[in-house]
A and B are shown apart, each in its own frame.
Chain A
Amino acid sequence: MTEEPAARPLAVEARGIVKTFPGVRANDQVDFDLRRGEVHALLGENGAGKSTLMNVLAGLYRQDAGEILVDGAPVAFGSPRDAIAAGIGMVHQHFTLVPSQTVTENVLLGLDRPRFFLRERQFEGEVAALATRFGLHVDPRAKIWQLSVGEQQRVEILKLLYRGARILIMDEPTAVLAPQEADELFVTLRSMTAEGRSVVFISHKLGEVLAIADRVTVMRRGRVTAAGLPTAGATKADLARLMVGRSVIDAPDRTPFAPGAVVLAVHGVSALNDRGLPAMRDVSLDVRSGEIVGIAAVAGNGQSELAEVVTGLRPCQGEILVDGDSVANRPASVVLRHGVAHVPEDRTTVGTAPNLSLTDNLIMKRYRDAPVAHGLLVDEAAARAFAGGLRDTYRIASPNVDTPARMLSGGNLQRAILAREIETNPGLLIAVQPTRGLDVGAIESVHRLLLDLRAGGGAILLISEELDEILALADRVDVMYEGRVVGSMPVEEAEIGRIGLLMTGGSEADRDATPVGAAPGVAR
């Protein structure tokens, strides 16, 4: 990098982008610029609006307001085809390849050449040459299904390069890669920027961002919190603070901490994720009666798997005790009977059945017991009365108890799930991202419900990406990174900078090396 980066011309400029989905403003006056020959990281938590912004740039969504300039000229994309014609291509998290076809066939798919005869040899040569040029090692004749995920990702990149993309948008490219494959990807990205191409790199892994990106833009709740910050002077702690932001919610009143007996004991538990890679490594923690233990971790560090393992939805190795009884690898129904309630991360397909009525959704944990159950039958009247009672007590706004769950707003759906779970009078509640996507009022009512449960002697394991939420509610904070518990402290000793550092793989020793908040270009 001999040229002064700031002097390079802009490849893409987005100004004042607004994109609203029903109930959510995913992008609110977002500015973003990308220079030629740079890797620009886009950093933020899930739901911060990163993918929305990039889908606008790639022609998948059309912005409600704002403009996009490519090489200084305004453009209006109607489809990804328009975007790729302007040189912008995106590699999505879910690949768009035909498994039964070869690499070359996939690269050519949708192009108007070859006209009729495939002349595979010639095109295989072209694809191979392109692959070699950028270090994208893949056999042009291999069928897609024979390739590893990393190789498939290379084919996606080849497709875009073959179509002449000068700007590559990679949506969390390393999420599916093994560490070595990620290193190879970085080499490829470097070789592309060396040719003057530009890369947008969406991620929420701080270490990677600092390793590969020239600049970083941080988003939080649909807004940019740091625009085009050079990574040269930035630290993980700075970035973590920008990602998780400052408190927007008041700390709710809470009763004094009066812990009782250990309700949940996790000893040396390891588990795999859906792709069969290690997600939890030797995790141990305790949750006591009357205690909220908050798990602070960036998405994908094993906390989702922790919730599933404890609730019987994922196999594991190690020991899990609820009230002294072993529940590891027992079916979910057994864990339920031990008084474990669960507010799942995915509230629309796990926490509720979208097309079933509110009644059907509210009796999900009670249909086996009287009064809702009447022998082998479900007592219709009792079920409706039960649902109506919960609806009134927890103020679930819905036209009636027959309304399908999918018609409920996010906040009401979450209240319905909490109502159902808390009503079982659980000894232990596993709450995963209980306030994600909710507005401030709904967040407060969810927090109130959790604190009431705690005051009543319930044990709560709270898994959240919102550090503020953990600090406001938890009595104890455990930090997870790469599947391990890397720190555990009472909330009084938990301080946002320290936790942010632990969450992102830093050690306590790194902490004082760079002063927090010294980085330039920080909004507000």
Chain B
Amino acid sequence: MRIHLEPRTTTPRWLSPLATLGAVAVALVISGAVIGLVGGDPVRSYLHIVEASFGSIGVLSDTLVKATPLILTGLACALAFRMRLWNIGAEGQFLLGAWGASAVVLFPLVPSGTPAIILIPLMMLAGMLAGGLWGLIPGALRALLGVNEIIVTLMFNYVALFWVQFWVFGPWSEGGFQQTHPFPPQAWLPRLTDFSSVVPGFAGLTVHAGLLFGLVAAGLLWLFLERSRFGYEIRLIGDSPRAAEYAGINIKRRLIIVFAISGALAGLAGMSEVNGAVHRLQDHISPGYGFTAVIVAYLAKFRPGRVIVAAILFGALILAGREIQPSGVPVMIQGIILFTLIVGDVLVRYRIRITRGGPAPAGPLTPATGSSIGPAPRPEARG
């Protein structure tokens, strides 16, 4: 018996969403088996995850706090992946964004009494600039010298990590601890709880304006990708670079711009995290948001609207990670979801044919993977 993969000539409309849902379901079953193997009760564990992340207004707010950086970094990845640029460096761009925003109040670059209305936009700008620069460098290296962007962005994550550590352990350290002074209150992003004097129900809800940044960014990115001339060019370059060149598009310039915007989005995520949730720069501000963002973007099939949904799902997993023992379970679920997603994507693009006996039929027998990460889901033509 032989199993062959044959490219599909037609793909039913329902197949792609079904494969995504199926992938998540299969991942949950596999994870459940692992939880069972180590002596846990998978059903209770899952119920607990749901309870711990969506069970009340309070935990829902916490979930959204965790989802906020994932939305922005997820959008950063989705944008780059649309053009088949494998920006695996959202983590580093996130950290640089957090650092850039912090620099405004810690160097300080502005007088200490600067009001929020000026300070917060300045910090957003600084975060986006720093993150954007951290994306621009690998983008320029790729465009001008052909350097593999996966390797550069991956390594840049570690450079960024040590850069932040240098500042929080050294010049900005608060009494030798691996953290800085807290930011002045006018640098804090407004939280729902800040309005509890007006709406008492908001008391204790820590969800902050960073979520708004994420939602607005998703809307703008949708407009940019699906409706703008630039977005059309990105689609064209992503699908066939040679066709884009033929259409008179300067691919190198687009590549650098996309990388810079992608980095700026991740940088904004870092700014929103330090200004909205942590209120200071410290070591370990990210539990790997920039890496989870890769999975979020994949799960969302690189579509801005779906990034929000996927980010909330993964925000819940991160939040629940604090409650679940062994604590590695949510990370494991994330990893398995990425695997099942990639398998699901192969099934969308290829059909499986099983033949009994006899030699292989003629024709290409192995799927050609278009990228180093695995078969990339194609962004469907229009949302």
Contacts and interface: CB of A to CB of B under 8 A. Distances in A.
B361 A355 contact: no
A407 B232 CA distance: 20
A82 B360 CA distance: 12
Contact of B381 (A336, A360, A365): A360
B209 to A, nearest CB: 27
Given A79-B359, A333-B248, A333-B249, A355 B382 contact: no
A351 interface: yes
Interface in B27-57: none
Interface stretch (B187-195, B238-246, B333-341): B238-246
Contact of A332 (B223, B231, B245, B382): B245
A125 interface: no
Interface residues of B, number: 31
B362 A313 contact: no
Contact of B229 (A331, A334, A367, A402): A367
B16 to A, nearest CB: 13
A456 interface: no
B227 interface: yes
Contacts of B249: 333
Given A367-B229, A376-B230, A380-B227, A356 B239 contact: yes
Contacts of B240: 349-350, 352-354
A364 B228 contact: no
Contacts of A236: none
A363 B240 CA distance: 15
A233 interface: no
A62 interface: yes
A394 interface: no
Nearest to B364: A60
Nearest to A337: B248
A254 to B, nearest CB: 29
A356 B243 CA distance: 11
A331 B246 CA distance: 10
B236 A356 contact: yes
Contacts, number: 97
A353 B250 contact: no
Contacts of A60: 362
Nearest to B379: A355
A356 B381 contact: yes
A251 to B, nearest CB: 31
Contacts of B230: 376
Given A355-B239, A360-B236, A364-B236, A350 B229 contact: no
A8 interface: no
A368 interface: yes
Interface of A: 22, 60-62, 76-79, 82, 311-313, 331-336, 342, 344, 346, 349-357, 359-360, 363-365, 367-368, 373, 376-378, 380, 402, 404, 407
28 contacts: A60-B362, A62-B361, A82-B359, A333-B250, A335-B248, A346-B242, A351-B246, A352-B240, A352-B243, A353-B236, A353-B243, A353-B244, A354-B239, A355-B381, A360-B232, A360-B381, A363-B232, A367-B232, A368-B229, A373-B229, A376-B228, A377-B223, A377-B229, A378-B228, A378-B232, A402-B382, A407-B9, A407-B10
Given A376-B228, A377-B227, A377-B228, 14 more contacts: A78-B358, A78-B360, A313-B246, A332-B245, A333-B250, A335-B248, A349-B242, A350-B243, A355-B378, A360-B235, A360-B381, A402-B382, A404-B381, A407-B9
